[in-house]
């Protein structure tokens, strides 16, 4: 079984012929990716990454993960591309209440360095008190303020509680091959270190140790995840015909919708476990395409939850949106609606039906209502939430993003805009080297 793309509910907005007329263009840009002749070609390490991952590499990551799994809690420190991929996969695969269980077989995974909330870090430190914990510190540049700040605080806490010698066996660094403060720190302290290849940008790095190590620590099968990605890598190459090439089809369809004024793409799920998958996807597409004053705005909703909040806007607000629904065919567990003698809630008509059946009818009803309301609907069908299909899904969206960015004529692999807030923050904080900028910015306040 594989993931599939259903464009039926787009065709009344963008015709089949229109989509097919762009097949050659998508193929051309797919070839540009594979030849490395397009914009940002220094950052194409993700393209053939799945097929280049060796079993030895995965075994090494698993061995490190097994050591960290001896801890009660593992703190994953990172932000943006050094955070969202791991969180997306872990949340998608985890039992929603596992972290509340006493007899757990997996360590609790918590995150830090993805914000600068003082109360957040205070509460995290309080939670870690008296617990055995490890740290995975992830930063490609090794200079990002948020994770650096969190790591400094957590490192001290760990060293204070178990001593420097034990602490260094519980800290793993994932960083650049040769440069950066984290690299130097990890070398000096003797931490186990994994390298993020130079040519893999943050938002494309989930299949490097950035994602694989935390996912393995959380107890999930990284071999299956990579297998799924390998499948999708092989099935989205330029020699795969457009009719079978999901990445090319998705890239073309969303760009055709964009040209018709559909400027916002809402990634929809009907499964709360996919909330953070959407956060990962938002970064992938937002950072890749939002530049040169162009780009579809990537948004996300969790249904049916948000049908009771954002549903009104989607149904009747400005008609500048389209939806991409990740539809999971099968739930893992069975819960049937029980019979109730009094039937005061009037739900006896559903007796014996599975909750997932009700969810599926909500999904179908929503799709039809939104299409009627002028919202085109792309459907990505996933057989079930498992490592293998998440691997497929990840690579599918990455590949489509590369092609889509080229169709939009931007460099999908840089993110110059991310620097603007950092410069101002450093100026405001009077960081060494920013003295002049500090004076200037004070005048603007």
**Which residues of the chain form contacts with ligand PA5 (CB under 6 A)?**
79-82, 139-141, 144, 147, 201-203, 287, 415
For residue 69, give the 3-state DSSP assignment. coil
Helix axes 387-407, 246-259, angle to 10 degrees: 50
287 is catalytic: yes
Least Å distance between CB 363 and ligand PA5? Answer: 31
Residue 344 to residue 195: CA distance in whole angstroms: 60
Least Å distance between CB 91 and ligand PA5? Answer: 18
Q: Enter the DSSP assignment of 54.
A: -
Least Å distance between CB 41 and ligand PA5? Answer: 17
198, 44 in Cβ contact below 8 A? no
Query: Which of residues 196 and 268 has its CB atom nearest to ligand PA5 in the complex?
Result: 196
422 is catalytic: yes
Residue 139 to residue 82: CA distance in whole angstroms: 6
Residue 68 to residue 134: CA distance in whole angstroms: 6
Going by C-alpha positions, the residue among 24, 26, 439, 52 that lies closest to residue 233 is 52
Least Å distance between CB 422 and ligand PA5? Answer: 9
**Quick one: tokens of 294?**
């162009």
Residue 244 to residue 242: CA distance in whole angstroms: 5
Q: Give the Cα-Cα-Cα angle 263, 264, 266 (nearest 5 degrees).
A: 155
**Marked catalytic residue, from 422, 435, 439, 440:** 422
Query: Which of residues 159 and 414 has its CB atom nearest to ligand PA5 in the complex?
Result: 414
137, 189 in Cβ contact below 8 A? no
Based on the number of CB atoms within 10 Å of its own CB, is 141 exposed (0-12), middle (13-18) or buried (19 or more)?
middle
Query: Which of residues 238 and 298 has its CB atom nearest to ligand PA5 in the complex?
Result: 298
Which parts of 209-310 fold into alpha helices (H)? 209-217, 222-234, 246-259, 275-289
Q: How many Cβ atoms sit within 10 Å of the Cβ of residue 264?
A: 15
Helix axes 84-93, 387-407, angle to 10 degrees: 140
The DSSP code sequence of 242-253 is: GGG-HHHHHHHH
Least Å distance between CB 292 and ligand PA5? Answer: 18
195, 202 in Cβ contact below 8 A? no
**Marked catalytic residue, from 233, 279, 287, 398:** 287
Residue 32 to residue 38: CA distance in whole angstroms: 6
Least Å distance between CB 27 and ligand PA5? Answer: 27
Query: Which of residues 81 and 211 has its CB atom nearest to ligand PA5 in the complex?
Result: 81
Preceding peptide of 206 cis, ω within 30°: no
Least Å distance between CB 213 and ligand PA5? Answer: 14
Query: Which of residues 202 and 238 has its CB atom nearest to ligand PA5 in the complex?
Result: 202
Query: Which of residues 80 and 238 has its CB atom nearest to ligand PA5 in the complex?
Result: 80
Least Å distance between CB 198 and ligand PA5? Answer: 12
300, 266 in Cβ contact below 8 A? yes
Query: Which of residues 40 and 147 has its CB atom nearest to ligand PA5 in the complex?
Result: 147
Residue 192 to residue 323: CA distance in whole angstroms: 43
Query: Which of residues 285 and 388 has its CB atom nearest to ligand PA5 in the complex?
Result: 285
Residues that are catalytic: 287, 422
């Amino acid at each position: 079984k594989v993931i599939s793309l259903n464009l039926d509910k787009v065709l009344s907005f963008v015709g089949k012929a229109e989509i097919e007329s762009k097949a050659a263009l998508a193929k051309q840009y797919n070839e540009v990716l594979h030849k490395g002749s397009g914009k940002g070609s220094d950052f194409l390490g993700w393209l053939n990454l799945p097929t280049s991952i060796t079993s030895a590499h995965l075994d090494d990551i698993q061995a490190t993960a097994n050591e960290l799994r001896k801890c009660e809690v593992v703190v994953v420190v990172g932000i943006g591309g050094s955070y969202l991929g791991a969180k997306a996969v872990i949340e998608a695969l985890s039992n929603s209440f596992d972290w509340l269980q006493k007899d757990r077989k997996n360590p609790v995974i918590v995150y830090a360095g993805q914000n600068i909330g003082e109360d957040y870090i205070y509460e995290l430190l309080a939670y870690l008190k008296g617990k055995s914990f490890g740290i995975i510190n992830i930063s490609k540049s090794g200079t990002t303020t948020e994770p650096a700040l969190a790591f400094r605080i957590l490192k001290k806490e760990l060293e204070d509680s178990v001593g420097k010698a034990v602490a260094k066996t519980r800290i793993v660094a994932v960083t650049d091959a040769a440069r950066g403060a984290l690299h130097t720190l990890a070398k000096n302290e003797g931490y186990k270190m994994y390298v993020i290849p130079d040519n893999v940008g943050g938002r494309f790095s989930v299949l490097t140790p950035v994602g694989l190590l935390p996912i393995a620590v959380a107890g999930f099968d990284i071999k299956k995840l990579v297998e799924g990605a390998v499948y999708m890598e092989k099935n989205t190459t330029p020699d795969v015909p457009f009719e079978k090439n999901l990445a090319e089809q998705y890239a073309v369809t969303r760009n055709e919708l964009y040209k018709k004024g559909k400027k916002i793409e809402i990634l929809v799920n009907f499964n709360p476990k996919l909330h953070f998958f959407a956060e990962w996807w938002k970064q992938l597409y937002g950072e890749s395409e939002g530049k040169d004053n162009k780009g579809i705005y990537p948004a996300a909703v969790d249904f049916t939850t948000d049908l009771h909040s954002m549903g009104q806007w989607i149904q009747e607000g400005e008609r500048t949106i389209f939806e991409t629904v990740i539809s999971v065919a099968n739930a893992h567990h069975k819960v049937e609606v029980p019979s109730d003698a009094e039937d005061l809630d009037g739900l006896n008509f559903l007796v014996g039906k599975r909750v997932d059946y009700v969810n599926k009818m909500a999904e179908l009803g929503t799709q039809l209502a939104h299409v009627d309301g002028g919202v085109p609907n792309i459907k990505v069908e996933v057989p079930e939430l498992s490592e293998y299909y998440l691997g497929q899904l990840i690579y599918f969206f990455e590949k489509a993003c590369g092609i889509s960015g080229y169709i939009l004529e931007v460099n999908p692999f840089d993110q110059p805009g991310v620097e603007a807030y950092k410069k101002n923050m450093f100026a405001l904080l009077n960081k060494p080297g920013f003295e002049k900028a500090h004076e200037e910015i004070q005048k603007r306040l």
